[in-house]
A and B are shown apart, each in its own frame.
Chain A
Amino acid sequence: MRAVFSTLILATLLSASPTFAAGASGGAPIAVRLSTKGNDIAFDQTAIQVPFGKRVAIKFINEAEKGSEILHNVAILKPGSLDEVIKELQANSYDIEKLRSHKSVLAMTKALPPGADGTVEFSPAEPGFYPYICLMAGHADMLGMKGTLNVKK
């Protein structure tokens, strides 16, 4: 009886451990919805807060009118790297796909036409302020299309 009880406790612990690990670094991601402010070259939110220890999934929707032809994307950057990424973007004449492999770009969508959406997922390595920007020509650097994801412990 004692042996059976011990086995049951061990089984419970073993099954609980992966659940905890998944909750800490993976599992169901925190879902965040982000969009443009209609036809404006701006995000609808410039500050978002999520808890540390979870994967984050940001669904970004380009809500510009279909006839507007305005393309957008969203890129999540490492904390403190905003200026460096913008300089690189300008140096590459706003070729956004060249930024996909940049060491400070954690995740990014492709360029999305009006009405389209894309989802980016990433696991923040540490708490902090993660900039998110639109990489389309002039949107972040000249028109201020950027925000901050606060990953809080």
Chain B
Amino acid sequence: MYTAADHPEIGIMSSAAVNVLPTRTITSPGLVMSLAFTSGFIIMSVELLGGRILAPYFGSSIYVWGSIISIFMVALSTGYLIGGKLSLRNPDLFKFGTFFLVAAIALLPIVFFSDLAMESVFTRIEDPRYGSLIASTLLFFVPTAILGMIAPYSVRLMVENAGHSGQVAGGLYFVSTLGSALGTLLTSFYLVLWFEMNTIVISMILALGVAGMTALWVGRKSLR
């Protein structure tokens, strides 16, 4: 038997939830997979741009990267926790889609208010280490946490029974981490050479919007 301890990544599922799973028919695993890929891509693309966004105010020293990476990690871990909790309550594709739309909205301040936010942090905090830490929290915590919710929730959407849950989680981590790798690579090699940063972030927002609307459309039946 699988237990939560064997697979900490699905530890959020109660045994009761696992038991009702086989009665659910799983819709569009391909869609869930590609959505997980998209979110993985966007998380790392935004993280990488984070360094560039903060540099005019806090420099580009190692501690700026330290701030960004740690805030992304804390945000993701918070997101995993919340996403796992939410997956207990009648998980469906429709709710899944709303995560993407909320994440898209949460990224908007990076485009429109980042200078304002960094300016006010800069004038209040002299030490660029803590300045960059606070600024990354303000700019990146919320959208990253929401994107983090997608991972455990997508596991829940695709798991039919406890027996193959590890495999499903593995497959999802595979696509989303692959998405992250690709997001890192494309952004640093090409996107910054071709586009302005805001253009890249706005494209990410649109991609999340499209992803979310698709999930809402496909999952609309579950509303009835």
Does B associate with A? Answer: no
